[in-house]
Structure 1
Amino acid sequence: MKATFMCFMSFMVIALDLSAQQPQFRTGVKTVPVYATVTDRAGRFVTDLAKEQFEILDEGKPVELTQFSNQFVPITAAIMLDLSRSMLPRYDAVIAAAEQFIVRLMPGDRARVGSFSEEVRMGPPLTGDRDALIKFIRDSFDLRVGMRTRLWDGISEGVKALDGIDGRRVVFVITDGQDTWSEVQMDDALRMARKAGVLLYWIGMTGTGGPELRPQIRPNAGLRSFVEETGGGYMRFAEIDEINRIMTEVAQELHHQYLLGFTPAILDNRLHKLEVRIRQPNYTVRARKSYVAEQ
C-alpha cells in the first residue's frame, strides 16, 4: 500500500508540471489522434520511446506521423456505473471503485458521472472538482438503481456527454458486462465511439472473491471486443482490497499513453482500419483499430 501511494504521489507531481503544456487534438479536423499504450513482457508501461519507433498503417498503407507526444495528457471522462439488479450485491464495491478513480484525476482532468439500470441518468456537467464528484456518487438518490440493465444505452450516453470536447476522451464503465434492456444496439454504440474517437475502459466486477463480487451471469462477449476496438482497456478485480492497485494502474495508463497523429490521404466518410506497430522487440502496443475519415 505504501509503495502504491508513493507511486501515485510522484505521478501527481509530474502531472502538475506538465498539465499546462500539452498538445491538443481537435475533433472535426484532418488530424487523426491515436492514443497508444506500450508495455513490456512484464506488463510494465514503457514511456520513453521516440517517434521513429512507431508506425501507423491506414488500410494497410504506412502514413507519416505528423504529431507525437509522450508527455502527460489530461483526460475527460464519463464515469458510467452499472446499478442494475445483478450489481446490487456489489453496490459498495462499485462506488468504491468510482471514488478511487476520481481521486486519481489530475490537474486539467474533468469528469462527469452517470448511472444506468432500466434508465440512464447523467449527473451534473463536466468538472475537475473531485470532492463534488465524490459527494455526488455517495448520495444514492443521485444514482439510477433498478432491475434491468441498459449497458449499451449507458455507454452511448457516456459518449454523448463527451461530444465537442477536445483532447483525450474516455468512457469509464464499471459493470458485470451484461445487457438486458438497451434500446441502442452494441454495433450502434461502437459506431458512435469510433466516430468520436472515444476510448472505452471496462472495470469488471468478476472473480472468486466474497459474495459481493462473485459473478451471477456471464458478461456480454461483445463488450471485450468493444474495448479492444477503441484502444481502451479491461481490468477486473476479485477482492475489494485490489481496487487501489487497479485504479492506480488505470490512471497511470491513461495519463502516459503516447499521443500519435496523422493526416488521412483521403476523406471519404468511410470506416478505415488502423494498425499501430512498434519497431521494438519484446514490447506490445495497444491502440484504436479504426477511424472514420470524415470530410
Structure 2
Amino acid sequence: MAWEGSADAPPTARIVALAPSMHSGERRVAAAVAEDLAGTVERTAQEVAEAVGVGRATVIRAAQTLGYDGFPQLRVAVAGELALSASSGELTADGTLLGSLRASFDRFASRIGHTIAGLTEESLETFVRALDSAGRVLVVANGLSSPLALDLVLRLSSAGRPAELLFDPLAQRIAARQLGEGSVCLVVSGSGANEETIAVARAAAGSGASVLAMTSFASSPITEVADAALIVPPVNDSFRDELLHTSRAALMLVTEALVDAVTTRRGDRGRDARAAVLAELGAAIRE
C-alpha cells in the first residue's frame, strides 16, 4: 500500500503510518531513514542499500511506497523536514520534572502538523456526510482507544447526532450485526489491529452498515474491513516508539475537529443542539 494522504506530509509521518505494513526490506529502509534523517540527505540510494543490507531497487520501492517518485525526491523531502524542525529550536529537558514535561509538550507541539498529514478532503467529506445522514451510529473502541469513543459519543450527542456506545465486546458485536443499511459503525482503533474491534467491524459490514475507521496506520486489519478510513499518524517518531509510549492524543484532536465539522454540516440542527446543551449546562451550574 502506497501513501495516499496529503502531498505535504513529512517523511517521518508517512513512515510511522506505513512502516507496519511495508515489506521487510522496505521497512528496514524506512527505519534507517527515520533513525538518521541527516545521514539520509547525504546518501545515495546505493549507499543506503549497502548500509541496510538490501538491494538498490528495494530502496527505490520504499521511497515510492512512501509516496515519492524515487529516492532523490525522498531525500529532498527529508531535507525539508530537517530544515523545518531546526527552525523550531532545540527541544531538551533541563533535568527537572517540570523541564521534562515542558520538553514533552514542545515535542508534541512540533509534531501537531503530522496529525492531519494522512487526511484528505475526500475522506473527511465521506465521514461527515455519513455521520450526518445515518439512521443509527454505533461507535466502537476497545483497549486504550475506549476513552476516545466515550468522548466522541458525548460530543456527537451534544451536536444533535445521537450515537450508541457499548463497552462489552460481545454486546458490541450483537449491536453491530443488527445495524443494517443506512447505519454507520464508527470504529476508533489506534493500532487498527484489536481482534475484538475487528470482529465488531466485520459484524457491522455483514449487516450492510457502512464501516468508518479512525486509526493511526494506513494499512491494518481495520482498514481492510472499513469502507472509509481517516489515517491519523501518531505523534511518536516511530512504530517502535508508538508501542512503548502509546499516545491517542492525535486521534483525540481529530475526533474533536470532526464533530465540529459534523455540527457545521447540520446547520440549524447543529446550532439548536448546541444551544440546548448550553442551556442544560447553565441550569446545572450553581454559584
TM-score normalized by the length of structure 2: 0.27
Structure possessing the higher radius of gyration over alpha carbons:
2
